[in-house]
A and B are shown apart, each in its own frame.
Chain A
Amino acid sequence: MTVSSPFEGPRVGEARRAMPAWLRAGARACVAATVWLGRYVWAGWVGLAGLFCLAAGWQAGHEFYGSFILPAPLETVTVLFGLFEGPELAQAASETAWRSLGGFLLAAGLGTLAGSVAGYSFAAMRIMRPIVTVILGVPPIAWIVLALIWFGSGGGSAVLTVVLASFPISFAGALEGAATRDRALDAMARSFGASLPTRFRTVTLPHLLSYLFPAWTTTAGNAWKVTVMAELLSNTGGIGGQLATARALFDIPLVTAWILLVVAFALITEYGMLNPLREMTERWRSAGLPWGVKR
């Protein structure tokens, strides 16, 4: 029997009965998601203001040095929009996007997996730390040279370079996160008879995420940069290849347009993919802030 509160008429009660529980829960989730999305987009204005400050600085630089050294932002944007009409942008962008996405997924996946496993073992941690420092110490440009020798000039060497250059960052993040897991909370979970996988999922992973998100953000940013660099040096098409051509032609606005495109991709990866994910999984963190959780 459904009991309606004294404040709602019989009709409301009827409507409630007619609506199945899952539908009601779904509708509530939809509303919550919309509210959250609206808030997220609205918060973007502040970030946009920061970007426009940067653009103003860029404009000032342009006015000082002139178009040949530093093309104006507007000029760059015009060239970029012009590129949208031709076929080479879609081609180059998708090539670069696939390479850096593949590199990012491999680097983040392998690094996270290996790092969190190593974080559980003190010996592994001691052995892996210097190895990571060594891998990080090798400049990405050196990896490109090696990858070119090993794999020839194809998309594979760009991906490999991304993986080698970015893997240690995710690895170090996951390692640090797993090593600093709260053993007291782990003991609490054990006292309830939680198995190792359950404990990892409920106790270690949420803690790990706060280390992983910054690492993943850096990995993603790195992936874009290194892919373009590898493409430029190995002459394997993509945005890097286009940059090389533009440089050869001394078409500076074209160079800045391609750079702008890469930056836009990096921004989209971070604020369009990683940050929303972080907001969703780390909602509890804002509970500790002065303004609390936005419900």
Chain B
Amino acid sequence: MKLALDKVGHAWLGRTVFEDFDLVLGEGEVVALAGPSGCGKTTILQIAAGLVEPLRGRVRRHYRRHAVVFQEPRLLPWLTARDNIAYGLKVAGRGRAERGAVAEARALDVGLDRDDLDKYPVELSGGMRQRAAVARALAVEPDVMFFDEPFTAVDVGLRRALQDLVIAAARRARFSALFVTHDLAEAVRVAHRLIVLSGVDGRIVDQRAIAGEPGRRDNRTVFDIVEGWSADPVFAELFDADRRGRA
């Protein structure tokens, strides 16, 4: 077990988002957290990553390092892509030469060119920036990764490429991951297990293992699984925007 959330609850400005949330993240396990907007997915991730103190419950961490990939790239505009990717290493106090070498290696892993490394974030396209953000997280060799809807802003083709990249990195570096998304197909592609939250009170509506291994499921399988779920009342909130509006 790498990470456990015990009976965690939180409220923003007195409005309860969710209560009694339990989660156990096993070694090398990728858990997808799905749910409609505003159900508290991101808050759960922030609590798990230590960015927000939970009001109730506790978080147990059994790992050395974690890294977060946010919904936006969150690159520092005054640093080049190279220095941005090396940011986590700099914070950890690694030497300049090592930082440069690791940053370059991770940049190539995520499909950035060597020429891009000296560019500032404004000079990179949206997809490039998100790649750099993924590289920055990978550079610290985390034991646990947190993904907060990381690929919502990129186009379909690139999203798939980035998902594959995450899957490959997870398998290579053996990190555990919590992957927040509202895209079921994305959850099915990258995760071992899926947790669905309710948009009404943040309860866990359903928890299920996803058949097969991440990265081994082909497009057909992913499509079939998602299609098979669409009739399931558990996912009604996710699929039915009308009902969500009334809830």
Contacts and interface: CB of A to CB of B under 8 A. Distances in A.
B51 A187 contact: yes
B120 A287 contact: yes
Contacts of B123: 287, 292-293
B49 A202 contact: no
Interface in A180-217: 184-185, 187-194, 198, 202-203, 206
Given A191-B67, A287-B119, A288-B122, A202 B76 contact: yes
Interface stretch (B86-94, B164-172, B188-196, B216-224): B86-94
B106 interface: no
Given A184-B72, A184-B74, A202-B87, A191 B92 contact: no
A284 interface: yes
A295 B119 CA distance: 10
23 contacts: A184-B70, A184-B72, A185-B74, A187-B46, A187-B51, A188-B70, A189-B91, A190-B50, A192-B67, A192-B87, A192-B91, A192-B92, A192-B140, A193-B65, A193-B91, A193-B92, A194-B91, A202-B76, A202-B90, A282-B78, A284-B77, A284-B78, A292-B123
Contacts of B88: 192
Interface residues of A, number: 21
Interface string A19-43: 0000000000000000000000000
Range of interface residues on chain B? Answer: 20 to 34
Contacts of B118: 295
Closest CB pairs A-B (n = 7): A287-B120, A191-B68, A288-B122, A188-B74, A192-B88, A284-B78, A206-B78
Interface string B85-106: 0011011100000000000000
Contacts of B78: 206, 282, 284
Nearest to B84: A188
A288 B67 CA distance: 28
B3 to A, nearest CB: 14
Interface in A127-167: none
Interface string B108-121: 00000000001110
Contacts of B23: none
Which among B66, B91, B146 has the greatest number of chain A C-beta atoms within 10 A? B91
B91 A206 contact: no
A293 B81 CA distance: 14
Contacts of A189: 87, 91
Given A189-B87, A206-B76, A287-B120, 16 more contacts: A185-B76, A187-B70, A188-B70, A188-B74, A189-B91, A191-B146, A192-B88, A192-B140, A193-B65, A194-B91, A202-B90, A206-B78, A284-B122, A287-B119, A293-B120, A295-B118
B25 interface: no
A185 B88 CA distance: 13
A265 to B, nearest CB: 31
A282 B79 CA distance: 10
A188 B68 contact: yes
B76 A287 contact: no
Interface in A236-295: 282, 284, 287-288, 292-293, 295
A287 B124 CA distance: 10
A126 B74 CA distance: 29
Interface in B154-186: none
B119 A191 contact: no
Contacts of B91: 189, 192-194, 198, 202
A14 B231 CA distance: 72
A249 to B, nearest CB: 53
Contacts of A191: 49-51, 66-68, 146
A295 B120 CA distance: 12
Nearest to B89: A192
Contacts of B74: 184-185, 187-188
Interface in B41-74: 46, 49-51, 65-68, 70, 72, 74
- Kindly name the residue among A184, A192, A206 whose own CB sees the greatest number of chain B CB atoms within 10 A: A192
A29 to B, nearest CB: 14
Contacts of A203: 76
Interface string B141-152: 000001000000
A247 B146 CA distance: 72
A278 to B, nearest CB: 13
A192 B146 CA distance: 12
B120 A284 contact: yes
A191 B74 CA distance: 12
Contacts of A198: 91
Interface string B24-51: 0000000000000000000000100111
Contacts of A292: 123
Contacts of B66: 191
A5 B90 CA distance: 31
